[in-house]
Amino acid sequence: MTQPSLSSSAHGCITDVAGIEVGHFTDTRRLTGCTVVIAREGAVAGVDVRGAAPGTRETDLLEPSNLVQQVHAIMLSGGSAFGLDSATGAVRWLEEQGIGLDVGVGRIPLVPAAVLFDLTVGDMRIRPDAAAGYAACAAASRNAVAQGNVGAGAGAVVGKLFGLGNAMKGGIGSASVRVGKVTVGALIACNAVGDVVAPDTGLPLAGARTDDGMHLRDSRRTLLSGEAAQSIIAGANTTIGVIATDAVITKVQARRLAVVSHDGLARAINPVHTMSDGDTLFALGTGASGESPGMLLLATMAAEAVALATVCAVRAARSIHLPDGAQLPGLADWKAGAA
């Protein structure tokens, strides 16, 4: 029996998938940025938008019944709706490299995108633009993916149900799962309104803290006990990401892979897919392995990779200071119960 190889953090990431490159741009003026996933040779793609407050671009072309079969990059960005402009920079960079759909008179790069809300972390007038997207593409490589407070995860925050001041730093994380000759990788920018929990136990790892800031509150249990959440800005959250595989899949299967990948979010975030989140996951198939192991295995691998990557996003997150001077702890350097 083939034993799966589960890899996360420094031991594996989405760039383990043949044909996939990743690049970050992180703004040094405030915590925001964007992250691009590039498939130079094109990749079959699908998307599933599960949250109720999404911000996206070019998702309609990924419907299985629509004409286009492949895309050339996916852009993930902070900056809320403003951050969608970063995809324009990716289109320009890809065109310069001769990458895109051949339409006879030239090539058109196809770059779907999704954004998360990080405008409350610093000056909202600073957000990813086309130049940021271009820079992320220029930095893209097959190297191990930097994680935590970088790229689209730079300004991410988790556990905001009981106020931003009681929340914790989110981030971006990546992981991969390999079975036989096939690899599935995930890249997740976690900015959830809920807590990030350990997939095996459901216990909180990062999220809403108690009023003294020293312990995790456990948002699920707190809500079920009858305590009301604070007023939350609509759409001021969202977990976005990309799942990629080197398996040979169709566009219909890519759509299904995006759908089932949300199971990984449900294992690692609680509550998830709320009215205040715009959770969106893309799926890419490069076909580089030449293998078609079947959707049951691929779906299982994808959900596992997403859950691992979501946990990696908060494990790598480091503490920051909010505009009002309050500290927002990151799991990488937070000691629960320490004053």
Nearest to 132 by CA among 84, 100, 186, 191: 84
* Residue 6, pLDDT score: 44
Ramachandran angles phi, psi of 77, nearest 5°:
-145, 150
pLDDT (tens digit, 9 = 90+) per residue, 91-117? Answer: 999 999 999 999 999 999 999 999 999
For residue 271, whether the previous peptide bond is cis, meaning omega lies within 30 degrees of 0, is yes
Give the integer Cα–Cα distance in Å for 33 and 191: 13
Task: Indicate the SS3 state at residue 131.
Answer: helix
Instruction: State the pLDDT confidence band at 7, using cuts at 50, 70 and 90.
Output: very low
pLDDT (tens digit, 9 = 90+) per residue, 157-207? Answer: 999 999 888 999 999 999 999 999 999 999 999 999 999 999 999 999 999
Task: Indicate the SS3 state at residue 120.
Answer: coil
> CA gyration radius for the chain?
19
Number of Cβ within a 10 Å radius of residue 110 = 22
Which residues fall within 8 angstroms of residue 310, CB to CB, at 6 or more apart?
A: 173, 188, 190, 196, 239, 264, 265, 268, 269
pLDDT (tens digit, 9 = 90+) per residue, 320-329? Answer: 988 888 889 9
Whether 73 and 57 have beta carbons less than 8 Å apart is answered as no
> Residue 33 is inside which H or E element, if any?
strand 33-49
% pLDDT > 70, the chain: 95
Give the integer Cα–Cα distance in Å for 111 and 114: 10
Residue with tokens 């079920």: 224
Beta bridge partners of 329: none
Whether residue 234 has pLDDT greater than 90: no
Give the integer Cα–Cα distance in Å for 248 and 234: 38
Task: Indicate the length of the chain as a whole number.
Answer: 339
Q: Read off the pTM.
A: 0.94
